[in-house]
Amino acid sequence: MLSALFLLMLLTDTHHLSVQTSGNQAQGYYLISGVNDDSVGLVDNSGRFLFALQSGPTTNMQPSADGGFTYFDGSLQAYVRVDSLFLKVDTFRISAPYLTDFHEGYQTADGRYIILGTETRTIDMSVIFPGGKPNAQIIGAVIQEYDRSKRLTFEWKSLDHVAVTESTIDIDITHNRIDYLHANAIIEDLDGNFIVSCRNTDQIIKISRSTGAVLWRLGGSAATRSDFTFVNDAADGFSGFSHQHTPIITRNGELMLFDNGTLKAEPFARVVAYRLNLEERTATKTWEYRPAINTVVPTMGSVQELPNGNILVGWGTNSSGMIATEVDRGGRIHAEISSADLPAYPYRVYKAVIGMKSASGVLGTSDSLHMRATDTTVGLKIRPVHVAQPVSVSVERHATLPAAAEFTDLSAPCMIFPERWMLALPDSAGNTYSATFDLGHTVAERDPSSIAVYQRPQEGSGTFRRVTSAVIIYPSTITIASAEPGEYIVGSSYCIATALIYPPTNAIDVSTSPRLDWTRAVGADEYEVELSTSPYFDEDPVFFRTEADQTRLESLRQGTTYWWHVRVIRGHDVGDWSEVRSFTTERTTSVSAADLASDLPVETRIVAYDLLGNELARDVIVREGQPLLRTCSERTIIVVATTPKGQVRRFIVMVR
């Protein structure tokens, strides 16, 4: 019961996001850390938080080349890699004695790991700078690269290559502790060398992979050293950028970055792109984006070039509630994300095709276009009925229910299948198209007369109308004679079954007070939920009804496997039971503090909490039998232990 109370405190509500779109935004979900206090997940164009994974405090979510993503876990002080099935498959961190830095860490497309860390050296600054301390603690950057087998292949330390005196004027290098460089991004240039953003020197530097030498420095007016002259980029006597973040190399070879503009006379944030001429050492501004209202962003910020050419801007620590803007090179806004109540500022914002399928192509004037992703599960064929010239079309297929589903008439379905399509077609006057959807097993074994297709122009808002021209070809194909752009869903007039959502099938280490979620059936009066410790539901059965499409259970047994299913009640009609899923609850072990270090491997990180969930202490096991948690005055505490392989175990510890 104690561990159940503790975990329940970690499960908090998702904070509200507002997403405004134009219909021309890039495909994919948004990756925004800080949306939920205890989880990571994806955000759709309706502002919904999807595919949540319990994680604890996190930051710096980034898409991976394998279709998953990574994030920095504050409890582990390490990066966690999640695959395309939303399974946590790996953790990685910088090697001791250095500390892993949340600002940068990712896996490359060919499987290498690039990680940013920090080190602290004691340096006599009194002989370097007037007023400096003789025993100053200088924080430097450490970059490490590992191959697929996690063998160290590259290491670079800023204190061996960049002087402390290169920091900008707002960094007081007479202090006892000096964060002189504050590296916040690492990317690989086209030639394989590294480009690093150094916030506290106002520089973007390029590092030789073979020697570690700094090949060039690019810095604005506040930088003490720069090898370039800025062209076409001066405002009020200030050239270039200041306290920047997230440099990228665009597809046409520009260096683009988020410019915080901190040290300008009147600070303002923007995204700016430069064309570098390495022979003449010039940086020519080729593009910039500033919001209509001047925005001050003291820290953080990000930029990403999306596949359709749009630029996604993350606005860091601004005070307006603005989270991100998706904009094209003409300055037209295609998506804006804002929130008034996020618990933490998102360090970066990204967008990627994760947890969905998408495809795009060019439709000719006579030939049909099969919209295919890498595994063809987009399931759509577009045929031109009347198209004057070739046009670009795209489609997304989501394994989720629509947001805020409303219907225009009494033909609303009783059940909506957990699948939807977003079809983007040009709105050129006179163009007409037909569309054929291959639903696979979505509507298999349903009576075709009970199936209907619904469409609305805007994803996540407005009312759905029934598509009367839809023809159902049993068992899995629907053809629409005159397709329009917008959001498409498939429904049934019969509530045969609902679909289970959470916990996932065969989940382990589930809280003893778990949340159960299932899909909503339109028109359902109630849902019946059955839970048992037997797959035949004949042992310790729990049976109840609820009007909501989720519920929370209390005080389940530790280390026990439960099976559950749900069915729909509509008036006097009772639907079929859903699929059966199982999950196994966590097991909390009672041990003494003396035995704890013997039960866990070396380098296990532990965090102690009191019975109300308040953090008491942190420790790391460095040797077997090591005394732990000697500062804890509580007699009974809860300990969460994370092993070097990322396994999480929980203990009730008696402190003597």
241 strand-pairing partners? none
Which DSSP string corresponds to 596-647? HHHHS-TT-EEEEE-TTS-EEEEEE--STT----TT---SEEEEEEE-TT--
pTM beyond 0.85: the answer is no
Which DSSP string corresponds to 524-562? --EEEEEEESSTTS-SS-EEEEESSSEEE---PPTT-EE
DSSP category for residue 223: -
What pLDDT digit, counting tens, does each position of 533-564 carry?
999 998 889 999 999 989 999 889 888 899 99
* pLDDT for res 1: 24
Q: Among 143, 245, 248, which Cα is nearest to 188's?
A: 248
pLDDT at 575 over 90: no
Residue 337 in tokens: 């994300």
Alpha-carbon span 503 to 84, nearest angstrom? 17
Q: Among 320, 312, 318, 325, which Cα is nearest to 345's?
A: 318
Alpha-carbon span 551 to 565, nearest angstrom? 13
Whole-angstrom CA distances from 466 to 287, 315, 487 are: 45, 40, 12
18 strand-pairing partners? 338
* pLDDT for res 644: 75
Is residue 289 within a helix (H) or strand (E), and if so which, with residue range? strand 282-289
pLDDT at 226 over 60: yes
pLDDT at 298 over 60: yes
Backbone angles phi, psi at 490, to 5 degrees: -125, 135
DSSP category for residue 2: H
- Binning pLDDT at 50, 70 and 90, where does residue 495 land? low
- Which domains does the chain carry? 356-492 (2.60.220.30), 500-585 (2.60.40.10), 588-654 (no CATH)
Whether 516 and 503 have beta carbons less than 8 Å apart is answered as yes
- Among positive and negative, which fits the CA dihedral 9, 13, 14, 15? negative
Give CA torsion, residues 120, 121, 126, 132, to 10 deg. 0
Whether 355 and 86 have beta carbons less than 8 Å apart is answered as yes
Give CA torsion, residues 288, 294, 297, 298, to 10 deg. 120
Residue that the structure tokens 């603005």 belong to: 322
Which 3 state secondary structure label does DSSP give 423?
Answer: strand
* pLDDT for res 188: 97
**Chain centroid to CA 127:** 46
Q: What is the gyration radius of the CA atoms in the chain, in angstroms? A: 28
**Mean residue pLDDT across the chain:** 85
CA angle 342, 403, 351 (to 5 degrees): 55
What pLDDT digit, counting tens, does each position of 4-47 carry?
222 222 233 445 788 988 878 999 999 998 787 777 889 999 88
- Binning pLDDT at 50, 70 and 90, where does residue 632 land? low
CB atoms within 10 A of CB 431: 17
Whether 567 and 544 have beta carbons less than 8 Å apart is answered as no
Mean pLDDT of 386-398: 82
Q: Among 248, 265, 137, which Cα is nearest to 197's?
A: 248
* pLDDT for res 375: 46
Alpha-carbon span 511 to 555, nearest angstrom? 9
What pLDDT digit, counting tens, does each position of 142-158 carry?
999 999 999 999 999 99
* pLDDT for res 654: 64
Residue that the structure tokens 């520009």 belong to: 254
What pLDDT digit, counting tens, does each position of 397-418 carry?
898 889 888 887 667 887 788 7
* pLDDT for res 433: 83
Q: Among 108, 55, 50, 110, which Cα is nearest to 78's?
A: 55
What pLDDT digit, counting tens, does each position of 157-210 carry?
999 999 999 999 999 999 999 999 999 999 999 999 999 999 999 999 999 999
What's at 624, amino acid-wise? E
